[in-house]
């Protein structure tokens, strides 16, 4: 987990760095540098350090009132999400970003990379979910909080439902950003996209046809047989409703 503080914070650390170092050393390996008058504090257990992609940036820290005589630094994950999206725009990408956090650790983060990759599925939520699940070796993100810049599109909303986080925090809405950004396509306008998804397939704007094949159903029967007669994915966190 990485963080950056303000110039005022830099002055605080300059005066209190020795005591703070003692507190931090008791729990983590750490480094502290002062760059261009601002403090950049990097704190992370050594075993949690990992390579940083070229689009990744440090997460901002806010210093809460001292606890037990020492400063209590808290990562502002929401602001980190905004910072990733802003940098992505500056580099020619689109204005979206996602940060996935569990137990105070950033598991994965990503901007929207559709413009860079020409992959229409390379939304920030999809990429971050893939990275987090691959890292953990599971498709379930139970216990995680996922920060997204804007309320997710139907594709990403579906992915968020599938990975089962504890909470999704979105920082703006389509209504708020629509005066500045529109992403309508051939078969939908974003303002009516959710309604489009809820229609029967025969009524959707996307041309669809049903070509019934019994062999297609046999694939599911085969899956059920291979799983001891169970229809559900065994380790999935089921709804209690």
Q: Are 143 and 122 in contact (CB under 8 A)?
A: no
18, 47, 109, 125: which one is catalytic?
125
Judge contact between 112 and 124, C-beta under 8 A: yes
| Dist. CA 45–CA 28, nearest whole Å | 5
**Cα(90)–Cα(73) distance, rounded to whole angstroms?**
28
Residue 104: partners with Cβ closer than 8 Å, 6 or more residues away: 1, 75
**214 has catalytic annotation:** no
Q: Whose structure tokens read 């704007």? A: 205
* Start-to-end C-alpha separation, the chain: 36
- Secondary structure (3-state) at 59: strand
Catalytic (active-site) positions: 125
């Amino acid at each position: 987990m990485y963080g950056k503080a303000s110039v005022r914070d830099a002055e605080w650390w300059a005066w209190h760095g020795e005591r703070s170092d003692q507190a931090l050393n008791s729990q983590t390996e750490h480094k502290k540098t002062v760059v261009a008058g601002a403090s950049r504090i990097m704190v992370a257990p050594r075993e949690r350090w990992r390579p940083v992609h070229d689009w990744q940036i440090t997460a901002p820290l806010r210093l809460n009132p001292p606890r037990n005589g020492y400063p209590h630094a808290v990562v502002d994950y929401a602001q980190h999400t905004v910072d990733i999206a802003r940098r992505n725009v500056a580099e020619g990408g689109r204005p979206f970003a996602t940060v996935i956090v569990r137990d105070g650790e950033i598991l994965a983060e990503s901007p929207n990379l559709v413009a860079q990759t020409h992959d229409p599925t390379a939304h920030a939520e999809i990429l971050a979910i893939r990275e987090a699940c691959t890292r953990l070796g599971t498709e379930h993100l139970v216990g995680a909080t996922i920060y997204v810049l804007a309320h997710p599109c139907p594709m990403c909303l579906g992915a968020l439902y599938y990975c089962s986080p504890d909470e999704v925090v979105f920082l703006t809405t389509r209504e708020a950003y629509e005066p500045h950004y529109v992403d309508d396509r051939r078969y939908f306008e974003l303002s009516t996209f959710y309604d489009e998804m809820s229609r029967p397939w025969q009524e959707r704007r996307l041309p669809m046809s049903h070509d019934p094949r019994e062999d297609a159903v046999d694939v599911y029967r085969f899956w059920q047989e291979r799983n001891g007669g169970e229809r559900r994915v065994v380790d999935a966190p089921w709804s209690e409703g």
